[in-house]
Amino acid sequence: MNAHPRTISVVLADDHPIVLLAIADQFSKLPSYCIAATVNSGAELARAVEKESVDLIITDLVMQGDEKSNSTVCDSSANCAARIRTFRSWSSR
């Protein structure tokens, strides 16, 4: 039996710095998760997924300035096998 559990590599993405900081803070407390990158745009998310092999992407569904949903970020990356979990904050803007 393996005494060391597998580490899950995660990329966190949100265009609101406070939200991104809060999510990163919570994931940093979980020993089985390793934050591979934190990004604040869909373009940065796409670059991070191309560069890093990640298991999980936690992202805002749509970030300011992005043309499309971040749920499609792995569509353009042949080596992306990450699970994607999206969330959407409500705003009156």
Q: What is the pTM of this model?
A: 0.74
pLDDT digits 0-9 by tens, 36-80: 999 988 888 888 888 878 888 888 776 766 655 454 555 555 556
Contact 66, 42 (CB under 8 A): yes
Identify the pLDDT of residue 15. Answer: 87
Instruction: Tell whether the torsion through CA atoms of 39, 28, 10 and 22 is positive or negative.
Output: negative
Identify the pLDDT of residue 91. Answer: 57
pLDDT digits 0-9 by tens, 2-29: 566 789 899 998 888 998 999 999 999 9
Q: Which CATH class for the 8-87 domain?
A: alpha beta
Question: In whole angstroms, how large is the CA radius of gyration of the chain?
Answer: 14
Identify the pLDDT of residue 74. Answer: 58
